[in-house]
Structure 1
Amino acid sequence: MKPNKTISIIIPVLNEEGFIGNILDHLAKTGSSGLIQEIICVDGGSQDRTATVSEAHGAKAIRSDRGRAKQMNLGAKKAQGDILYFLHADTFTPKDFDQKILDAVAEGYDSGCFRMKFDTKNPFLRFFAYMSRINHRLCRGGDQSLFVKKELFQKTKGFDEAYYIYEDTEFIARLYKKTEFKILPDAVITSARKYREKGWVKVQFHFAMIHLKNYLGAKPEELYRYYAKNILDY
Structure 2
Amino acid sequence: MIVTEFVLPDPFSLSVIVPVWMEAAGVTETLRALQTIRTRGHEVVVVDGGSTDPTVELARPLCDRVVVAEKGRALQMNAGGAAATGDLLLFLHADTRLPDNTLEHLARFVQTRRAWGRFDVRLSGERPLFRVIAWFMNQRSRLTGICTGDQAMFVRRDTFEVLGGFQPMPLMEDVEFSRRLCLVSRPFCINEPVVTDSRRWQKNGAWRTILLMWQLRWRYWRGESPESLAQIYRSDVRNAPK
TM-score above 0.5: yes
Q: What is the aligned partner in structure 1 of residue 226 from structure 2? A: 220
Matching residue of 1:15: 22
Task: State whether structure 2 residue 45 is matched by structure 1 residue 34.
Answer: no
Match of 2:50 in 1: 45
Match of 1:198 among 204, 209, 220: 204
Evaluate the alpha carbon distance shift between residue 133 and residue 195 of structure 1 in structure 2; reply closer, same or farther with a 3 A threshold: closer
Counterparts of 2:145 and 2:224 in 1: how far apart (Å)?
Answer: 16
- Counterpart of 1:209 in structure 2 is 215
- 8 Å contact from structure 2 (residues 24, 55) kept in 1: yes
Residue by residue over 1:29-74, the C-alpha shift from the partner in whole angstroms, topping out at 9 and shown as x without a partner, is 4x363351x1111000111111111112234211110000000000
Question: Do the aligned residues in 1 keep the contact of 2:34 with 2:44 (CA within 8 Å)?
Answer: no
Give yes or no for the alignment of 1:6 onto 2:13: yes
Whether 2:75 is the aligned partner of 1:62: answer no
Count of paired positions: 230
Q: TM-score, normalised by structure 2?
A: 0.89
Superposed CA RMSD in Å reads: 1.8
Contact 1:21 1:54 in 2 (8 A): yes
Q: Where in structure 2 are there 5+ consecutive unaligned residues?
A: 1-7
Distance in 1 separating the partners of 2:182 and 2:143: 9
1:151-190 superposed Cα distances (whole Å, 9 cap, x missing partner): 00011111000x1111111111211122121110211000
Counterpart Cα distance in 2 of 1:228 and 1:132? 22
The SS at the match of 1:178 is coil
Partner of 2:167: 160
Measure the CA separation in 2 of the matches of 1:139 and 1:127: 19
Q: Percent identity?
A: 27
